[in-house]
Amino acid sequence: RILRVPEQEGMEPAEGRVETYKGLIFANWDENAVDLDTYLGEAKFYMDHMLDRTEAGTEAIPGVQKWVIPCNWKFAAEQFCSDMYHAGTTSHLSGILAGLPEDLEMADLAPPTVGKQYRASWGGHGSGFYVGDPILMLAIMGPKVTSYWTEGPASEKAAERLG
């Protein structure tokens, strides 16, 4: 049982610097670290596309989901730098399949295979995304919603807002 801590002087808790970006809260205890804006650098462009696509912003929905996936280290390393495995191959696949239109042939539902990966010149930031083939998106959301997000008013507003 510990009765007291010797030499407590100078052992006060460190005060962290707290900064926000697009509603996300960041804390840093390194007094010598650059400010958040500088640290995020080029990654802000990609974060804005996820967090600031519309003037409504982003709403965080509370709760935690945890998954244990038997895989090698490369799966997690690539997932942290993109989201290209997420919906189509892991956690949401059963929900996607259950919600597909009955008349859709599974042979016509090929996961996207063409994408891009981005890595910032420093700071360890990265992202990834699929481009092109909208078959999976069409199957999940239907033609009206897919058109709205990729060609219609929502796409036009996002292009105007984000450049």
Burial (CB count within 10 angstroms: exposed 0-12, middle 13-18, buried 19+), residue 111 = middle
The confidence band for 75, taking pLDDT boundaries of 50, 70 and 90, is confident
> What distance in Å separates the CA atoms of residue 134 and residue 147, rounded to the nearest whole number?
10
Instruction: Evaluate if residue 88 carries a pLDDT over 60.
Output: no
Helix orientation angle between 153-162 and 135-150, rounded to the nearest 10 degrees: 70
Q: According to the model, what pLDDT value does residue 26 have? A: 95
Q: According to the model, what pLDDT value does residue 36 have? A: 96
The confidence band for 28, taking pLDDT boundaries of 50, 70 and 90, is very high
Mean pLDDT of the chain: 78
Q: What DSSP state is assigned to residue 107? A: G
Does the model's pTM come out above 0.85?
A: no
